[in-house]
Amino acid sequence: MRSRQILNSLVAVVVLLAAGPGLAETQTLRVGAGPPPAVYSTVTLSGLVLPASAWQPSDGPTRRLSIDEAVTLALEQNLDLQVERINPRIQDMGVAEAQSVYTPVISSTLIGNSQNSPSSGFLSGAGNQNSVTDRTLRNGVDVVQEVPWKGGRYTASWDGSHRTSSSVFFSFDPILQSNLSLNYTQPLLRNFAIDTPRWQIAITQANREMSDIQLRTTVVRTQRDVRRAYWGLVSAQSFLSVQRQSLELAQESLRNNRTRVEVGTMAPIDIVEAESEVARNEENVIIAEAEVDRAEDLLRTLIFDPDAPEFWSIRIQPSDTPMLAPREIDIDAAIRNALSQRTDLQSLDRNIETSETDIQYFRNQQLPDVNLQVDYRATGLGGTFLERGGAFGIGEITGRQETSFASVLGNIFTNDFPTWTVGVAVSYPLGTSGADANLERARLQRSQDAARRRSLEMRVAAEVRDAARAVNTNLQRVEATRASRILGERRLAAEQRRFEVGLSSTFLVFQAQRDLAQARNREEVATLDYTRSLVDFDAVQEVPLF
């Protein structure tokens, strides 16, 4: 009997040594400003104070990362972010395309013409010849531009020509001619305050702002996903460490039971129970290892460049551990911040602004189309003037007077032969126009967006409140599960002392070990949920979580 007590005492010492690291270290923390400091227990996962190297990957290169380093890598290399960063550049091209309507268009022409016409009588101008020959070389330059103010449009044209003719009716041979024509059209009602180009530019600029908002949404969501995945990997590795410790404890119990059977202080059936406990813990270790690999893959796809040669082989070792850091939650301030910062509200505001632009445009299109048109034309003429004798000045050439092309251009710039035309053109549809239907549709769209915004504001406030509630709930869970874990440690220690003196059985000891492992896991999950809820609480004030 005494030898059995001695052996049981040795087993108890081994079990206590194995369970000893499960006792949590505590310290006093004060987080943020607020009321006098409260005493909180700083709890690591499962109540275990584990070093960063508690879980070691089995193969492949290892990269240690803090959570801030993981977020930085994601902002640089995440594929979804790389895709989203292109959208603003695409929208920039849309804005540039819409604004290109104001780019002046310059065109130039050069035309040569030669015509030989048979003489059809006295009035053909052939004189004593059998035919009349005309040769013309004409060139011109036109500039057309929609001006970016008040819907105006101007056209400027210049042309010059050199013409020779054998007709006796021409006083010049060759004839040098140049014309300058300026035209400006200004809407006075329709298209004055806003026209189609300005409407389209406003829409493309709103789309550009929407792409910035969507990029910000993707950035915040990526940061949230990375933080959640990082803590998920930490939790998975810690859970694996717990399962391995449980396996080692079960294996130690199996070895002790075999020793007891050999010395005759325990029945052989107790070995079967210990072997079953070892097998169960081995299964838990296998499952926990798979969860580590799954969590690691999730994190690597968020932060690493998939083109890197070691993308799938590199192992990730987090250097940070989630600590219980109670934080004061100001729900009212968080709701106000969300109502001013949430990207979905900002996107809806851009839609409302677009509807306002549509209303302005279609209301303007209902007005009569009244256009002020101003035309100016200047002409210059020169060349070789032929002095003819005979009746009507169509006889033989008696003299010549030369006028240069520079003189012809001078006629234009000195405004020697101007022509002005000013007019107003008015048009108005008889009956209902398409602008009427479009205006009513734009008004309905604005009313719908305004109602949708009020509904969204309520949902945003509810989401923020729910996120804050989750923070407080998970903090209470951590405190409750910590107390449960401490009680589980005490129960295991008590059961082991009872086992020493023969008042307990291996079944009850194993049951206490299982309950302690479950309590540690629940504390781990609660701590992880609390850490993630803080991440969600910060993110929900900027973007919708789902």
pLDDT tens for 397-406 read 665 777 777 7
Residue 124 has what pLDDT?
54
Q: Which two tokens stand for residue 63?
A: 């990269």
- Kindly report the average pLDDT of the chain as a whole number: 81
Cα separation, 215 vs 354, in Å, equals: 20
Residue 309 has what pLDDT?
87
**Amino acid at site 420:** W
Is the predicted pLDDT of residue 93 greater than 90, yes or no? yes
**Amino acid at site 304:** F
Could you list the beta-strand ranges (E) of 119-198. 131-146, 153-165, 172-187
Contacting residues for 64 by C-beta, under 8 A, at least 6 apart:
52, 317, 318, 319
Higher-pLDDT residue of 350, 521: 350
Residue 55 has what pLDDT?
45
Residue 123 has what pLDDT?
54
Is the predicted pLDDT of residue 50 greater than 60, yes or no? no
Residue 169 has what pLDDT?
63
For 449-476, what is the mean pLDDT?
94
For 22-37, what is the mean pLDDT?
30
Residue 119 has what pLDDT?
63
Tell me the per-residue pLDDT of 180-204, one tens digit each, with 9 for 90 and over: 999 999 999 999 999 999 999 999 9
What is the four-CA torsion angle of 25, 28, 31, 35, rounded to 10 degrees? 150
Q: Please, which pLDDT band fits residue 395 given cuts at 50, 70 and 90?
A: low
Q: Quick one: 310 exposed, middle or buried, by C-beta within 10 A (0-12, 13-18, 19+)?
A: exposed
- Give the percent of the chain with pLDDT over 70: 82
Show contacts of 127-132: CB within 8 Å, 24+ apart: 127/168, 127/394, 129/166, 131/166, 132/165, 132/166, 132/167
For 202-227, what is the mean pLDDT?
94
Q: What are the counts of helices (DSSP H) followed by strands (DSSP E) for the chain?
A: 10, 9
Higher-pLDDT residue of 524, 57: 524
Residue 60 · residue 315 · CB < 8 Å: yes
Tell me whether the omega of the peptide bond preceding residue 174 falls within 30 degrees of 0, making it cis: yes
Q: What is the DSSP string of 51-111?
A: -TTSS--SSS-EEEE-HHHHHHHHHHH-HHHHHHHHHHHHHHHHHHHHHGGGS-EEEEEEE
Higher-pLDDT residue of 546, 60: 546
- Give the percent of the chain with pLDDT over 90: 46
| Top mean-pLDDT range of 87-101, 371-385, 395-409, 418-432 | 87-101
**Amino acid at site 509:** V
Going from N- to C-terminal start, the domains of the chain cover 2-50+58-93+202-355+442-539, 104-201+368-434
CA dihedral (216, 222, 228, 231) positive or negative: negative
Residue 209 · residue 476 · CB < 8 Å: no
Residue 336 has what pLDDT?
94
Q: Please, which pLDDT band fits residue 42 given cuts at 50, 70 and 90?
A: very low
Residue 543 has what pLDDT?
92
Tell me the per-residue pLDDT of 219-274, one tens digit each, with 9 for 90 and over: 999 999 999 999 999 989 988 988 888 888 888 878 887 887 888 777 787 788 78
User: Can you tell me which residue has the tokens 């130039």?
Assistant: 108
Cα separation, 287 vs 528, in Å, equals: 19
> Which residue(s) pair with 116 in the sheet?
133
Three-state DSSP state, 279: helix
Give the count of beta carbons closer than 10 Å to the beta carbon of residue 115.
11
Three-state DSSP state, 185: strand
Q: Which two tokens stand for residue 366?
A: 């209902």
Half-sphere exposure for 463 (CA within 13 Å, toward CB): 23
Tell me the per-residue pLDDT of 410-452, one tens digit each, with 9 for 90 and over: 778 888 888 999 999 998 877 667 888 899 999 999 999 999 9
The DSSP bridge pattern shows strands 315-318 and 62-65 to be parallel
Cα separation, 218 vs 208, in Å, equals: 16
Q: Please, which pLDDT band fits residue 392 given cuts at 50, 70 and 90?
A: low
For 303-325, what is the mean pLDDT?
86
Q: Is it true that domain 2-50+58-93+202-355+442-539 has CATH number 1.20.1600.10?
A: yes
DSSP state of 234: H
Tell me the per-residue pLDDT of 102-142, one tens digit each, with 9 for 90 and over: 999 999 999 988 877 766 655 555 555 666 778 889 899 99
